[in-house]
């Protein structure tokens, strides 16, 4: 079991000891979800970061065969940007 001590800064920041980060697989971008039980016992859950901001979204059809491009300027099927956009 890894153990360590850290100091809470004036702004509430805490550094997680390297041994604990390694044991729990905590990496940059991961979310830590903090909770406090009614008796004051703290707990923390590691919510690992998915690769890509929209990885957990289901794809949505935009119509067509899927080979067309769609943009807000209406330049479907034309990979070149519009001159008057």
This prediction has a pTM of: 0.50
Per residue in 62-73, pLDDT (tens digit) is: 666 655 555 555
Residue 60, token pair as written in the block: 């949505």
Per residue in 14-59, pLDDT (tens digit) is: 999 999 999 988 988 889 999 999 999 999 999 876 566 666 667 6
How far are the Cα atoms of 13, 37, 65, 68 from residue 9, in angstroms, in the given order? Answer: 5, 23, 55, 52
């Amino acid at each position: 079991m890894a153990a360590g001590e850290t100091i809470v800064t004036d702004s509430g920041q805490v550094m997680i000891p390297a041994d604990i980060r390694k044991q729990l697989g905590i990496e940059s971008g991961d979310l830590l979800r903090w909770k406090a039980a009614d008796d004051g016992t703290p707990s923390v859950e590691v919510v690992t970061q998915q690769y890509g901001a929209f990885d957990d979204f289901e794809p949505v059809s935009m119509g067509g065969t899927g080979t067309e491009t769609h943009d807000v300027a209406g330049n479907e099927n034309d990979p070149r940007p519009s001159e008057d956009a």
